[in-house]
Amino acid sequence: MSCPVVLITGQLLTDAVWQPLIDAWPGRDIILADNRHDDSIAGFADWLLAAAPPEFDLIAHAMGGFVAFEVMRRAPGRVRRLVLIATLASADGPAQTARRQGYIDLVESGRFDQVVEERIPILFPEHRRSDERFLGIARQMAADTGAETFLRQQRAIMARADSRPALKDIKVPTLLLRGAGDGITTDAQQQEMLAAIPGARLETIAGAGHLPTIEAPEIVVPMLAAFLDG
Q: pLDDT tens across 13-26, in order? A: 999 999 999 999 99
pLDDT of residue 96: 86
Domain layout of the chain by residue ranges: 1-88+100-160+167-230
Superfamily assignment of 1-88+100-160+167-230 in CATH?
Answer: Alpha/Beta hydrolase fold, catalytic domain (3.40.50.1820)
List the one residue out of 55, 42, 45 whose CA is nearest residue 4.
55
pLDDT of residue 95: 86
pLDDT of residue 52: 98
- The Cα 121–Cα 184 span in angstroms is 10
Low-confidence ranges of the chain (pLDDT < 70): 1
pLDDT of residue 1: 59
> Are 55 and 78 contacting, i.e. CB atoms less than 8 angstroms apart?
yes
